[in-house]
Amino acid sequence: MSSTNTLRAFHIMAKPTGSACNLHCDYCFFLKKEKLYPGSNFHMSDEVHEAYIKQLFEAHQVPQVTVAWQGGEPTLMGLDFFRRSVEVQKLYARPGTCIENTFQTNGILLNDEWCRFFHENNFLIGLSLDGPKELHDTYRKDRGGHGTFELVVQAARLLQKHKVEFNILCTVNSKNADHPLEVYRFFRDDLGAHYIQFIPIVERDNESGYQEGNKVTDRSVRPDQWGRFLTEIFDEWVKKDVGDTFVLNFDGALAGWLGMAGTVCIFGPTCGLGLALEHNGDLYSCDHFVEPNYYLGNILETPMIDLVASEKQRKFGQDKKDSLPRYCRECEVLHICNGECPKNRFLETPDGEPGLNYLCAGYKAFFKHADKSMRVMAELIRQGKTADGVMRAIPVERTTLQERFKKAGRNDPCPCGATDKNGTPIKYKRCHGKIEFTTAISS
Ligand code: SF4
Ligand code: SF4
């Protein structure tokens, strides 16, 4: 059987305006891609648009097809482009296909008309917002250098008014990374958002962003910051928000504890099923690799499915696994992390092997910290229950442990279960008993 026949579902992020955008956020990697298409009008033609939709539906043999719009800024195409798209989609969808449109926007151009359209056609919106005003406006600026916070919040309110489902996409940089709870609570409480995704900003400190060297820009989040950011939000979330607020980073990680790593590509053992389509029909291996080396072909010349199933693309996805350094292959959280995204693998391991993820230390700390709660949630799901049971289970466990601490003799093994490097249980007086004793003296 050919690989084309075995390929059932994949994901294309279409960039109808290429990298063109009406903002000028300091960290935006899409802007750099303008250099790939000098002189272009960055406007998807009807020919490319129709070829994209037609080939996307022809290639999919699954009941649900996602049509993903991304930028640059897709609203710059104008609403009529997407009205037409919905019609073209109906024309080419197999009978009974469930069509989902996703749409990533900075929100600046949204108005009632856009939101009515989104609602009527079940678009799922991704809205870029980096936290409360001071944190958001640090980097997300218009071309005049002014902050855009008010306009984005106004867009969120419009989406809510029209009952349009939206995700908050928050990039985590060196500034907002030190304020995890402020950021999270702002989204949850002030904005009333139920779906949130955090994206670490990791920018190589050179022009193209993909050259040699391991320096990152000052805007980039540090690995330890990233770990603390996730950890602090996780602790708040797991106490009271599971089942009500969805954080994609946590859901994606939980899949690893369920033995299903890969519901988000960065944590999968391999990748290669999330490609990027430029405005002119050029297809690239991934949205993070819109680079000459990762160009697969143009869908006006070669059918999309052949490019997706090509040996070059298969190798791209397989390399995620094959290029893992030994340090990762022997890592205790490999089954959750899988080395994360190849775009961030530019460090050397402690033994000098290339290919370690820049965010490794942060991920490792976070995954270890979240392990206990994640195990509880995974077990609940395996039992056919919902993960929100963790909010009752973990406090009960904490109470029980506190009671056991109270009853423990100073020479008993510590109730927390800690052992020394030889596997011998550590005495209570040298473990949590020592902590309590120290705390009692100092308080
Ligand atoms: S390169 Fe990274 S972002 Fe792209 S598909 Fe692979 S894991 Fe996902
Ligand atoms: S935590 Fe670090 S060592 Fe472990 S798999 Fe992830 S990147 Fe590799």
Cis, bond preceding 72 (omega within 30 deg of 0):
yes
| CA gap 438, 443 in Å, rounded | 9
| CA gap 121, 56 in Å, rounded | 18
Burial of 80 (0-12, 13-18, 19+ CB in 10 A): exposed
Q: Identify the CA nearest to 234 among candidates 250, 218, 253.
A: 250
The question of whether 80 is a catalytic residue gets the answer no
**C-alpha 272 – ligand 1 centre gap (Å):** 7
Quick check: 177 and 131 in contact, CB under 8 A? no
**C-alpha 329 – ligand 2 centre gap (Å):** 8
| CA gap 149, 154 in Å, rounded | 9
| CA gap 308, 300 in Å, rounded | 14
- At 171 the three-state DSSP class reads strand
If one residue of 323, 335, 338, 357 were mutated to test the ligand 2 pocket, choosing by the most ligand atoms within 8 A of its CB, it would be 357
* Ligand 2: residue whose CA is nearest its atom 8: 328
- CB neighbours (10 Å) of residue 122? 13
* Ligand 2: residue whose CA is nearest its atom 6: 339
List the catalytic residue out of 205, 287, 319, 420: 287
| CA gap 270, 341 in Å, rounded | 10
Per-residue pLDDT of the chain (443 residues; tens, 9 = 90+): 344 445 667 999 999 998 888 887 776 655 566 678 988 889 999 999 999 999 999 999 888 999 999 988 999 999 999 999 999 999 999 999 999 999 999 999 999 999 999 999 999 999 999 999 999 999 998 888 899 999 999 999 999 999 999 999 999 999 999 999 999 999 999 999 999 999 999 998 764 444 445 689 999 999 999 999 999 999 999 999 999 999 999 999 999 999 998 789 999 999 999 999 999 999 999 999 999 999 999 999 999 999 999 999 999 999 999 999 999 999 999 999 999 999 999 999 999 999 999 999 999 999 999 999 999 999 999 999 999 999 988 776 666 667 778 888 889 987 766 556 555 777 888 777 764 433 333 32
**C-alpha 132 – ligand 2 centre gap (Å):** 31
Q: Give residues (CB < 6 A) around ligand 1.
A: 265-266, 271, 274, 286, 288, 320, 341-343
Instruction: Starting from the CA of residue 367, give the closest ligand.
Output: 2
Minimum-distance ligand 1 atom for the alpha carbon of 287: 4
Within 8 A by CB and 6+ apart from 170, the residues are 128, 129, 130, 131, 176, 183, 187, 196, 197, 198, 199
* Ligand 2: residue whose CA is nearest its atom 1: 364
If one residue of 271, 289, 324, 337 were mutated to test the ligand 1 pocket, choosing by the most ligand atoms within 8 A of its CB, it would be 271
Within 8 A by CB and 6+ apart from 93, the residues are 57, 65, 99
Amino acid, res. 149? F
pTM: 0.86
If one residue of 330, 337, 347, 367 were mutated to test the ligand 2 pocket, choosing by the most ligand atoms within 8 A of its CB, it would be 337
Q: Give residues (CB < 6 A) around ligand 2.
A: 327-328, 331, 333-334, 337, 339-340, 357, 360, 363-364
Quick check: 86 and 121 in contact, CB under 8 A? yes
> What is the 8-class DSSP label of residue 189?
I
Instruction: Starting from the CA of residue 274, give the closest ligand.
Output: 1
* Ligand 1: residue whose CA is nearest its atom 6: 271
| CA gap 424, 434 in Å, rounded | 17
Quick check: 361 and 238 in contact, CB under 8 A? no
Burial of 388 (0-12, 13-18, 19+ CB in 10 A): middle
Within 8 A by CB and 6+ apart from 336, the residues are 253, 256, 257, 261, 267, 367
| CA gap 136, 146 in Å, rounded | 11
